[in-house]
Amino acid sequence: MANQLIKDLRAIAEGLDGDGPQWPHIPCPSCKRGGLTLISESLIQEETAISKRNQSHPEWDPDWAHGYFSCLLRCQKPACDLVRVVGETGLYLLRSEDGYCNFFTPKFFLPHLPLIESYDLSPPLVQKRIDAAAKIIWSDPSSAANRLRSAVEALMDDQGIPRKCVRGGRPYEVNLHNRIVAFKAAKPEHAGVADLVLAVKWIGNVGSHNDSLRVPDVLEGVEILDHTLDQIYDSTKDEIKRKAADIAARKGIPASRFSGSIPF
């Protein structure tokens, strides 16, 4: 099934161009279902001092302009919290005949946007690490990738894969890679997702050692982690199989028609 949340986050990562009505669907942190819209009177833009000084440069072009913005977003559901956004803004050329357009790059959402669809299925410590990633992914994607790596560590904890082992009578720390290998061996029913979650670990490793990751790179790991958590913790698939088998056994006749065992 397509992960609509990831699609929304990827669209936001491309930037917000023009005014509010043109922005992509921004998921509500409160209800997780509604979309956020701009409160137009709340939008504040301010050009930086350097950007203003650059206007005196003989080769100055409008796309040199740079500044910051802040605004409020509102969900269609009145009970949901307002969301505050802070980020960078500039101008970019649409087409030569159309001129320039404002372009907004969000850096912080408060409260933070939801990151995975399987959040409610996840163990509390995994949720905590995912929240830590969600808070900083827009401003510091490399650090967010490291938080996702920590979420994988928490997943291994929940699955009973030890962090420490004993060799030659001496305890030692088991690195995450070897914990995932042990998980694959201990839980053969999850061997496929064990292979997938290794990718999240590798993205996290890169985030730990340099600042080269961009938001779309981290969202690749988010999508894989989301799928992994869904595969491990979502029991509805088994329930649907049970219901289907029960209906097939009754040959589609409603269960309410039977007072005892199925008569065939």
| pLDDT, tens digit only, all 264 positions of the chain | 468 999 999 999 998 987 667 899 999 999 988 999 999 999 999 989 988 888 888 888 777 888 999 999 999 999 999 999 999 998 765 655 567 778 899 999 999 999 999 999 999 999 999 999 999 999 999 999 999 999 999 999 999 999 988 777 788 899 999 999 999 999 999 999 999 999 999 999 999 888 889 999 999 999 999 999 999 998 877 677 777 777 777 776 777 765 555 544
As a whole number of angstroms, the distance between CA 226 and CA 137 comes to 16
Three-state DSSP state, 164? strand
Lookup result for tokens 């914990």: 179
- In eight-state DSSP terms, residue 27 is B
pTM score: 0.85
State the amino acid at position 51 in one-letter form. S
